[in-house]
């Protein structure tokens, strides 16, 4: 499969000429190495024991060749992080080091954070706009800047296409494969996490079936703020054999360190005029295809009776993935808003570097009614001076702006 340009490529184009060291972080299979290798003059693969021993013996990186050097899977030898930091302190030129990592180090004790020396960029599975299937006409960065007065464009992308996009995966090596192979690869991905990745990090999974059940419960809670205690009950149906709370906390922590869990935090604005904000995270896996696979859902079942209850939450997962990729490129953060009691909710809050806000609601259906935008209108009334734009992301075919000023944008038309 030919290389598809990633949104993070644009970030690297901007940052490599000015930053001496950049780390790409994200789950295995997301494409970090492929993206970084296109910009590197030399590569050290630190998951190769022989190469790792060479690096271990060269703390000062004296044998590193000139140009841009990629240190792949650096977490296998955490001392490399400190080595790079020291090189930066010593005056390393711009674009000298790229680091890629699929997990935070097992034992980070003594390792410097790298703050101010090594720039970290998150790399996620491919959003819909990156998969080469759509032609966006609406810019998220322009909406965040308040400069997207005209909203237009049309797409032939259908509800079935969105269901396919959910289960196809945003992992580059998986998404273009035949359906049966894709399902097998997703199963193998999840099994590798349980059988290999967690044990390699020193976590002994004593009951693999229970961990997979907990992951399935987490997947079923996608796009919700379901309490972890309820996830625990759902894991084994509330019976006496359910895992201890400390065990599931360990699941959550270790899976987060592998970038497999990607929850959306609750919005915590500075100088907040909105009271009763809930801080519980909204649950998301790294890729909605993983959630669909854990739940045994296909594109057909998402559109039928068996999986219809998950079509909306997993469409929101797909939207959230794309928005986070786009927001990072725009130097913006993504969170969600929910008042205690749940009487007001906004699915996604995108906040720019100057504090401007883009509020986004996600709707599986193509039509948008006044009822669908009531929480966005409420948000605009609460903080009118900070609202850059308001948007409903749908499965429709046409992008337009409603008379109340709210943009309606099919996901297939949303891009950088």
CATH of the domain at 43: 3.40.50.300
pLDDT recorded at residue 302: 97
Looking at residues 133-152, what average pLDDT do you find?
A: 91
Q: Is the pLDDT of residue 274 over 90?
A: no
Calpha distance 49→273 (Å, rounded): 55
The more confidently predicted of residues 206 and 193 is 193
pLDDT in tens, 59-90: 999 999 999 999 999 999 999 999 999 999 99
pLDDT recorded at residue 342: 80
pLDDT recorded at residue 106: 58
221 & 253 share domain: yes
**High-pLDDT (> 90) share of the chain, %:** 81
pLDDT confidence tier of residue 107, bands split at 50, 70 and 90: low
pLDDT recorded at residue 304: 94
1 in a structural domain: no
32 & 73 share domain: yes
Q: Is the pLDDT of residue 256 over 80?
A: yes
Q: Is the pLDDT of residue 272 over 80?
A: no
Largest CA distance in the chain: 66
**High-pLDDT (> 70) share of the chain, %:** 95
End-of-domain residue from the set 92, 122, 152: 122
41 & 136 share domain: no
Domain total in the chain: 2
84 & 199 share domain: no
135 in a structural domain: yes
Burial of 178 (0-12, 13-18, 19+ CB in 10 A): exposed
End-of-domain residue from the set 122, 156, 190: 122
2 in a structural domain: no
pLDDT confidence tier of residue 238, bands split at 50, 70 and 90: low
Integer CA distances (angstroms), 141 to 11, 25, 121, 267, in order: 13, 23, 18, 19
Q: Is the pLDDT of residue 14 over 90?
A: yes
Q: Which structural domain range is residue 380 located in?
A: 128-415
pLDDT recorded at residue 110: 45
pLDDT confidence tier of residue 150, bands split at 50, 70 and 90: confident
343 & 367 share domain: yes
pLDDT confidence tier of residue 114, bands split at 50, 70 and 90: low
116 & 132 share domain: no
pLDDT confidence tier of residue 236, bands split at 50, 70 and 90: low
179 & 97 share domain: no
End-of-domain residue from the set 68, 103, 122: 122
283 & 368 share domain: yes
Q: Is the pLDDT of residue 109 over 50?
A: no
Alpha carbon dihedral 120, 94, 127, 361, in 10-degree steps, equals 60
Model-level pTM? 0.94
Q: Is the pLDDT of residue 57 over 60?
A: yes
pLDDT confidence tier of residue 246, bands split at 50, 70 and 90: confident
pLDDT in tens, 297-313: 999 999 999 899 999 99
Looking at residues 177-201, what average pLDDT do you find?
A: 95
pLDDT in tens, 337-380: 999 888 899 999 999 999 999 999 999 999 999 999 999 999 99
Looking at residues 268-279, what average pLDDT do you find?
A: 78
43 & 105 share domain: yes
As a whole number, the mean pLDDT across the chain is 92
94 & 149 share domain: no
């Amino acid at each position: 499969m030919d290389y598809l340009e990633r949104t993070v490529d644009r970030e690297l184009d901007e940052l490599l000429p000015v930053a001496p060291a950049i780390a790409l972080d994200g789950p295995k299979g997301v494409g970090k190495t492929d993206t970084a290798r296109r910009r590197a003059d030399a590569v050290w693969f630190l998951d190769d024991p022989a190469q790792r021993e060479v690096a271990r013996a060269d703390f000062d990186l004296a044998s590193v060749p000139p140009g841009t050097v990629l240190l792949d899977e650096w977490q296998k030898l955490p001392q490399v992080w400190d080595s790079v930091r020291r090189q930066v302190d010593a005056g390393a030129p711009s674009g000298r080091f790229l680091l890629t990592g699929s997990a935070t180090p097992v034992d980070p004790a003594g390792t410097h954070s790298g703050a101010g020396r090594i720039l970290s960029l998150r790399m996620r599975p491919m959003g819909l706009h990156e998969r080469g299937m759509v032609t966006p006409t609406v810019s998220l960065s322009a909406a965040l800047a308040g400069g997207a007065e005209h909203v237009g464009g049309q797409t032939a992308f259908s509800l079935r296409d969105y269901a396919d996009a959910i289960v196809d995966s945003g992992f580059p090596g998986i998404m273009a494969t035949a359906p049966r192979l894709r399902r097998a690869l997703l199963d193998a991905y999840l099994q590798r996490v349980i059988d290999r990745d967690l044990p390699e990090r020193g976590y002994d999974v004593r009951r693999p079936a229970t961990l997979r059940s907990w992951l399935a419960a987490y997947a079923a809670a996608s796009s919700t703020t379901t309490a972890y205690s309820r996830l625990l009950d759902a894991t084994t149906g509330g019976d006496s054999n359910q895992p201890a709370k400390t065990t599931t906390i360990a699941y959550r922590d270790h899976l987060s360190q592998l970038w497999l869990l990607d929850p959306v935090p609750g919005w915590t604005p500075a100088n907040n005029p909105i009271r009763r904000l809930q801080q519980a995270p909204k649950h998301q896996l790294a890729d909605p295809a993983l959630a669909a696979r854990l739940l045994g859902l296909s594109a057909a079942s998402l559109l039928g009776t068996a999986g219809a209850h998950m079509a909306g939450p997993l469409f929101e997962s797909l939207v959230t993935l794309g928005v986070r990729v786009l927001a990072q490129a725009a130097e913006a953060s993504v969170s969600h808003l929910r008042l205690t009691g749940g009487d007001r909710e906004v699915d996604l809050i995108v906040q720019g570097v100057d504090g401007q806000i883009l509020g986004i609601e996600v709707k599986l259906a193509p039509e948008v009614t006044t009822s669908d935008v009531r929480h966005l209108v409420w948000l605009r009334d609460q903080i009118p001076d900070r609202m850059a734009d308001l948007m409903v992301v749908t499965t429709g075919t046409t992008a337009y702006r409603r008379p109340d000023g709210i943009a309606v944008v099919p996901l297939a038309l949303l891009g950088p």
